[in-house]
Structure 1
Amino acid sequence: MSGHNPAPKPEPRAGRVSLWRYLRLFRQDILSAQPARLYRAWMAEFRTPFFRSYLCNHPDLIDLVLKERPADFPKSDRIREGLAPLLGRSVFVTNGAEWQAQRRIIDPAFEGGRLREIFPAMLAAAEAASARLVPHEGQVVEVEEAMSHAAADIIFRTLFSIPIEDETAAAVFAAFRRYQRTQPLLNLGAFLPLPRWLPRFHRRSTRRAARDIRALITRLTEQRMAAIRAGSAPDDLATKIMTTADPETGACFSTEEMVDQVAIFFLAGHETSASALAWALYLIAAHPELQDRAAAEAAGLPDLPGFSDIAGLTILRDVFRETLRLYPPVPMMVRENRCPVDLRGRAVRPGAQIVLSPWHVHRHERLWHDPDIFDPDRWRREDGRTSARDAYFPFSAGPRVCPGAGFAMIEGPLVLAILLRSWRFAVEKADIPAPIAFLTVRSRSGIRLFLGRRQ
């Protein structure tokens, strides 16, 4: 086993709390609002005056919702309300025919061949991230911030062929940094029975940052559309998506539709990757023997790694998988049942909120051996592989699986390898991070690691 130390997790809330207290906890930190019993339960029901919610942890229930009958369990409009200022009607929040048309245009951009083509841009961003650490040698580094910078750079290089230093890219990154700490994972207003025309209680700072981000993305999108018309556009992800027509209707994304999609690419491809990479560096730093093994693997890469070389990073791939198990960037997914359904003997009426929680399932005491232990070697054992088949879905599953899952599984091991070739990370013992859900699972007060040059 690679490590015997439990990964830090929020202190579970014990006992019963009032509805108002629970909603306040839910808004402040969805993770700390969960009692310990939910890490053992197959299903739990929550009742409010406005709706009922069911947390479904059993693998059969997860398969029912995500794989067997996904059309009967669309994305919840209540969750869309919380993210609407930034995401509009992006592929992350839509349902039905609208979502299907969006996926028919987006999916070809993330096929294996395209990943090979954008790999040099991803590698250049990883090397730039390592170079940005040089002035901080021998110091404590806030790695959440560093990995946010790195992940944003990867998105801009692969999507628009511009580095993070580009003026517009830097402005989007700065606006997003303002946005991410003002927007809770769930917006409280989405859970109140308000008429559609009433405001949803988004903070003023959240709305302002979202407007700034969308205005900047609109500028990038309009510039790219002009370049496509002029025949001078680079062959990157943005060009691929904007020139792909829906094979059924022949329609392409309009500028406004593309802005929605770029917003979710930036959210999903930057925010989630930054979360996973920061937690991976913390877990590597907390296990020095494993760090040495991973660094030796990284040192075996060619000076200029190619796409096919990433397949040889087996230790780092397992580290990244295990990080996604313990700290899934999107800790909960919410669906809404459209028709009556029986869930483990309970009759559930249409309109209930069906919560699927990687955070709970990945740490479930009945589904994983030593669920709170960071153990990358579990992925090479039969018990770990069995648990993964039944109880692992950091990218969702079924038809709505994240189209960028393959992208992320190249990006994660690559960035870690490039960093470990040059740097050694160590935990500041008095500064143990506590996970909390903002847009993704982050540390309550950042993740600070000591940075040393690897000899």
Structure 2
Amino acid sequence: MTPPKPTPRPDKVSLWRYLKLFRKDILSAQPQRLYRAWMAEFRTPFFRSYLINQPELVETVLKKRPTEFPKSNRISEGLRPLLGESVFLTNGDTWKRQRRIIDPAFEGGRLKDTFPAMRAAGQAAVERLRSQTGEVLEFEEITSHIAADVIFRTLFSVPIENETAAQVFDKFRGYQREQPILNIAAFVPLPKWLPRLHTRRTKVNANDIRGLIKELTEERAGLIERGEAPDDLATKIMTTRDPETGRGFDTQEMVDQVAIFFLAGHETSASALAWTLYLLAMYPEWQDKLAEEAGALDTSDFAAMSRLKLSRDVFREALRLYPPVPMMVREAACPERFRGRDIPEGAQIVISPWHLHRQERLWERPDEFDPTRWGTENGKTCQRNAFIPFSTGSRVCPGAGFAMIEGPLLLSMLLRHFRLDLVEGRHPVPVAHLTVRSKDGIWLRLVER
């Protein structure tokens, strides 16, 4: 069985029709030819954008010359109400300073310290699900709950049942469904003084989430001052000083960073885990393999992760087919020339993991689910050159290592106790909200082993 692609649109369509499709669902708006193109140009009355789907071009933009292709402000317009000036949106010296403070919290040794909290969240999920065996469940909601629990336990040492954490989770569910990956400012350059076209509900939810995060941050600052703070990610980040300036994050800056940690550490993880479970329901033989391998978790120490090799390959394959962040946009800071085409200054450079991970000229059987591909020469080559679920280069997601522990661990813990079956007539259709989600949810039957 092959996971479905988005329904391809006709290659020729009016600009107005394209914009409507793009806002409703960025994935189904893409023509089929983009899965085999090295590069494509898209023009609007306001700007030009270029999809680059060739590894050499991606490497130029993201790794070799990233300062000449800063993150596009057009993307930030849609996320600014929630993320403010977080590391996900900034460029230049501001971004460099933020990374110098954030990166130490996600170093290898620190990740080992987060393992018990991740495992506790996984065990809590298993216990919650025991009472629902035999039922048909919507798994995006379930994985969102698990991922939110992980991020709150690792960031603030509180479970999802904590009152403030529960409120943040509830508000964020409303926010992510209301907010498309791009808003109209991505297409039309609006003056700074003109109000942004965010819905009232989007703005209210963003303000509420930020207010709740501020409460958690101020509470933690008090614990740090009294020497009573737990040694978790929030404490690490809030007590780290920029080695060049000697300054740390103030409260407002920390709220911005926690907002992106929650988005990146919860929303993307929830998307990836839900699609992985769906793929495993399609291929039940892989469920049995992972359930057997999960015996490695009989030991509770971090070393068990090195023995979850199949789980890691399955999770990696799901990230290939359903990358949580389907596109990244950079802006040409000066005129450029790619593949014989002149790229004007200010042009939008679109890098799409969704297309690159299914590039027909690179991957063998690109639309098939095959976790064994990562042991083949083609798989190893593509992993180096055409696999970027966490971006790459200097702007690679600082939580990439975190995600590659969390995903395989939670997957193994769930499949050790449960089997997942497909539900007839409930075929998920991928769409892009803040991350790649299913249009009507991912419905599976939960069966206890």
TM-score, L = length of structure 2: 0.99
Instruction: Tell me which residue corresponds to 2:314.
Output: 319
1:11 aligns with 2:13: no
Measure the CA separation in 1 of the matches of 2:421 and 2:300. 26
Work out which of the residue numbers 224, 230, 252 in structure 2 matches 1:228. Answer: 224
Measure the CA separation in 2 of the matches of 1:301 and 1:244. 33
Give the secondary structure class of the aligned counterpart of 2:171: helix
Give the secondary structure class of the aligned counterpart of 1:211: helix
Unpaired segments ≥5 residues, structure 2? none
1:439 aligns with 2:438: no
Deviation for aligned residue 1:389: 1.4
Do the aligned partners of 2:86 and 2:260 also contact (CA within 8 Å) in 1?
yes
Instruction: Tell me which residue corresponds to 1:166.
Output: 162
Instruction: Tell me which residue corresponds to 2:329.
Output: 334
Measure the CA separation in 2 of the matches of 1:358 and 1:429. 30
Work out which of the residue numbers 355, 378, 392 in structure 2 matches 1:360. Answer: 355
Instruction: Tell me which residue corresponds to 1:62.
Output: 58
Instruction: Tell me which residue corresponds to 2:385.
Output: 390
The code of the aligned residue for 2:117 comes to: A
* Aligned pairs (5 A) from 1:254-293: 254-293=250-289
Work out which of the residue numbers 431, 445, 449 in structure 2 matches 1:450. Answer: 445
Measure the CA separation in 2 of the matches of 1:135 and 1:225. 39
Measure the CA separation in 2 of the matches of 1:344 and 1:139. 53
1:238 aligns with 2:234: yes
Give the secondary structure class of the aligned counterpart of 2:37: coil
Measure the CA separation in 2 of the matches of 1:9 and 1:190. 25
1:74 aligns with 2:52: no
Instruction: Tell me which residue corresponds to 2:206.
Output: 210
Instruction: Tell me which residue corresponds to 1:45.
Output: 41
Q: Which runs of 4+ in 1 moved over 4 A?
A: none
Do the aligned partners of 2:296 and 2:304 also contact (CA within 8 Å) in 1?
no
Measure the CA separation in 1 of the matches of 2:292 and 2:16. 52
Measure the CA separation in 1 of the matches of 2:34 and 2:295. 42
Measure the CA separation in 1 of the matches of 2:349 and 2:62. 11
Measure the CA separation in 2 of the matches of 1:420 and 1:197. 52
* Aligned pairs (5 A) from 1:338-417: 338-417=333-412
Measure the CA separation in 1 of the matches of 2:428 and 2:150. 25
1:94 aligns with 2:102: no
Give the secondary structure class of the aligned counterpart of 1:301: helix
1:31 aligns with 2:34: no
Work out which of the residue numbers 110, 117, 121 in structure 1 matches 2:117. Answer: 121
Deviation for aligned residue 1:429: 2.5
Do the aligned partners of 1:31 and 1:436 also contact (CA within 8 Å) in 2?
yes
| Partner deviation per Cα, 1:69-104 (whole Å, 9 max, x = no partner) | 000000001101110000000000000000000000
Pairwise CA RMSD: 0.8
Give the secondary structure class of the aligned counterpart of 1:181: helix
Q: Which moved more, 1:194-203 or 1:156-165?
A: 194-203
TM-score, L = length of structure 1: 0.98
Do the aligned partners of 1:190 and 1:200 also contact (CA within 8 Å) in 2?
no
The code of the aligned residue for 2:204 comes to: R
| Partner deviation per Cα, 1:266-297 (whole Å, 9 max, x = no partner) | 00000000000000001111101111111111
Measure the CA separation in 2 of the matches of 1:119 and 1:30. 35
| Partner deviation per Cα, 1:361-408 (whole Å, 9 max, x = no partner) | 001111101111000000111111112212100000000000000000
The code of the aligned residue for 1:69 comes to: R
Unpaired segments ≥5 residues, structure 1? none
Instruction: Tell me which residue corresponds to 2:415.
Output: 420
Deviation for aligned residue 1:305: 2.5
Give the secondary structure class of the aligned counterpart of 1:141: strand
The code of the aligned residue for 1:7 comes to: P
| Partner deviation per Cα, 1:292-327 (whole Å, 9 max, x = no partner) | 11111113421x422111111111000000000000
Measure the CA separation in 2 of the matches of 1:289 and 1:119. 28
Measure the CA separation in 2 of the matches of 1:13 and 1:391. 24
| Partner deviation per Cα, 1:103-162 (whole Å, 9 max, x = no partner) | 000000000100111110110001111111112111111110000000000000000000
Do the aligned partners of 1:423 and 1:452 also contact (CA within 8 Å) in 2?
yes
The code of the aligned residue for 1:390 comes to: N
Deviation for aligned residue 1:182: 0.1
